[in-house]
Amino acid sequence: MPLDLNNRPVAGRVAALNARYRHHSATAVLEHALKDADLGRVALISSFGAESVVLLHLVSVIAPETPVLFIDTRMLFRETLDYQRELAESLNLCDIRTIRANPARMAFEDPDGTLHQFNTDACCALRKVEPLERALSKFDGWITGRKRFQNAERGTLDFFENEDDRRIKVNPLAHWGREDLEEYMVNNRLPRHPLVAKGYPSIGCAPCTSPVKPGEDPRAGRWRGSQKTECGIHFVNGKPVRNRQENAA
């Protein structure tokens, strides 16, 4: 990492990276950007969810030494935990780091595990946002599996984003469609998350995720019945994305 990286504004580095890799493929973005001086030290954040295997496989082929941060909220589906172990072994990922909430904070703020029932934002902050923020403090950027097709809020994603002038967010699959993901998984014979076949195209914590009916938005099963569409770990214009009302403001 260049010694003067911290003295170079994130916004300028993001603009340079987007200009440099604007016409590159997802593979090229990962292969070259991970070594780019404007990016710095990065980690891959993975939920080991419905589509996670594509990005995990790409990274395992291109840069298997890349740290992979897995947030275990302790409310995940058993299928997700089993799938995580399966992929870690089959893809030969050599630096998976499991991130969890501070036990003392958990005991104080959610002693009986019911916080999600009356304050989903607080639960996500406790179990996901704060643990990830601590883990990311050692990195200059992070790789996500976000894609434009997933919902309206993600419809204008670039390969590189400025996260509140603190870090760079890398979205190598931003321009991929659902058919691209499907083709990649079939061509590479990648194992699917077992819950996908049961109607879960987007998978989060068990208490806050439900099956999706045909024709519904793929993320309709996340926090169903509320305005919430994101857990809060992603930022738009410096603000955590939490629900449609905030995005419209």
Written as six digits, the tokens of 214 are 């045909």
- DSSP type of residue 129: I
Task: Kindly list the distances between the CA atom of residue 206 and the CA atoms of 73, 103, 190, in Å, as whole numbers in the listed order.
Answer: 10, 20, 24
242 vs 249: CA distance, rounded Å: 12
Q: Which whole-number Å values give the CA distances from 10 to 40, 135, 162, in the listed order?
A: 11, 19, 6
160 neighbors 168 (Cβ within 8 angstroms): yes
- Based on the residue annotation, tell me whether 205 is a catalytic residue of this protein: no
Q: Where are the alpha helices (DSSP H) in the chain?
A: 10-20, 26-33, 52-62, 78-90, 103-109, 115-118, 120-124, 130-136, 178-187, 244-248
Tokens 């298997």 belong to 64
Q: Which residue has the tokens 């770990």?
A: 233
Question: Helix (H, G, I), strand (E, B), or coil: what is residue 167?
Answer: strand
Q: Which of 123, 124, 205, 231 is catalytic?
A: 231
Residue positions annotated with a catalytic role: 231
